[in-house]
Chains A and B, each alone.
Chain A
Amino acid sequence: MVMTTHEEKMRTVRFRVAATPHIVVNSDICRASCSIHACVYVCPANLFVPLDDGGILFNYEQCFECGTCYIACNQEGAIRWSYPDGGYGVTFRES
């Protein structure tokens, strides 16, 4: 079908999940000084979940490694990222 939910989109993408996360969110900073939570909206993989206490829960396993969260985050140092180990992470086949 043409119209798809986000879950259906994500099911078409192949990931080889690394043992350690390549993105780390310092939720203390999110709680202390972020009110906009830009990461929650802009992430194309929808990996950032806002918590009731103002923190952010992050799941690195289905990350496109695009860097948008890092660029959008206006809180100094809340998101630290690098690339996953070689051969791990997203593997596009068609795009």
Chain B
Amino acid sequence: MSLEEVKVEPKQKFLDIYQEHINDIKNGSPDYINEIREKAIKQFEILGIPDKKDENYKYTDLNNEFDNGYKMYLSPKNIKFEVNDIFTCDVPDLNTKVILLLNGWYYDRENLIHELPGGAIIGSFQAAAKRYPELVKKHFANYAKMDKEGLVAMNTAFSQDGVFFYVPKGVVIEKPIQIINILMDEEEGFTQHRNLFILEDNSEASIVVCDHTLSRPNFLTNSVSEIFVGKNADLKYSRMQNEHNGSKQVSNLYLHQERDSRVNANTISLHGGLIRNNVHVMLGGEGCENTTTGLYLTDKGQHIDNYMYMDHAYPNCTSNQLFKGVLDDFATGAFSGKVLVRKDAQKTQAFQSNNNILLTDDADIKTKPQLEIYADDVKCSHGATVGQLDLDALFYMRTRGIPKKEAKLLLMSAFAYDVIKTIQVPALQERIQDLVDKRLRGELSRCNSCQMHCC
């Protein structure tokens, strides 16, 4: 008789959890969502969790990370804390209404839906799915395709809540909406929230999303955000990732742009144990403009992996991608960016650039920019660099009396600024600059309390 345990694949564990808790999971969601859920779990059974054999996950083995037995949040368990004790949000000009998600659930259970002036709506995704079925049905699971991404399928099967944001035609939301994802518990947890943002034609909005861990245990997040940007609409989206070294997150962002829309999206990865960002952009109409940028600062054993897919499906669209990173100690990272220019997408302008600075011999980054062009009248470029700090510039500064450490900081800060200046929310731009400088100085070594006043 063998005493060897049969190893259960993490995929099977999640399939079992799904079956076991199917009532909890479906409870609270309308039928049309649960029908998609059923399709999603089947798809997840086929695709599973990506491992290194998957070309797109070659440098980040997620199968391992999901094999952890962390607690899942299948109902909104509220941990009582006073928001104002923890957050001192002193970024000026942000919308006073701060939206909190706690372990993937909309925090303010008393007020799940807020109607804003002009007919805009912000609130809990779960509540919105029930209250505005026509609106949600039209967009939900339409952009985050589960036919290729096992983790999107998994999120679609399991996720119950998240943030819903709706801006009707022609409405302009003046002040940025701030969403804070909080992870806080006494034990290790795994969250999967789902956001849906809808900007109808000719509308405008800015969204700022911050990720924070507020307690020590390890966390894993597998989030999906779908954003629909209607004709001639304008979205500014900034994400700030600031979690502790015991946190791992996979963030899937799907942007669908209609004709003549404009999107500026930035992801600033300040801190986190393992971060995998998947950004998919569909330029789904003529004349779209998209700027997607990312900045990542890693040290110790942190790992960052940015994956970007820009789909030029229509003519006359412009996309700009800029990703920059500084890797210290034995941090590792990867960047993979694909620009697809379809056959009919003439007059496309697509630019992509990834620049990295390695501060030590042990830090490592794999970078893979790719262009796939099927149209003949296009202007595209891509490039990647991996280097050290410019020694000539360092010496030049030192001969002016600037100590080596300060000179290095100035150079790193200047390197990062190229990304920071693409942030289009002015107050946030300043704050991020400040945070990045602090991070580079090593003053923000952990972020499990918001005493840092970082958002």
Q: Do A and B bind each other?
A: no
A residues whose Cβ falls under 8 Å from a Cβ of B: none
B residues whose Cβ falls under 8 Å from a Cβ of A: none
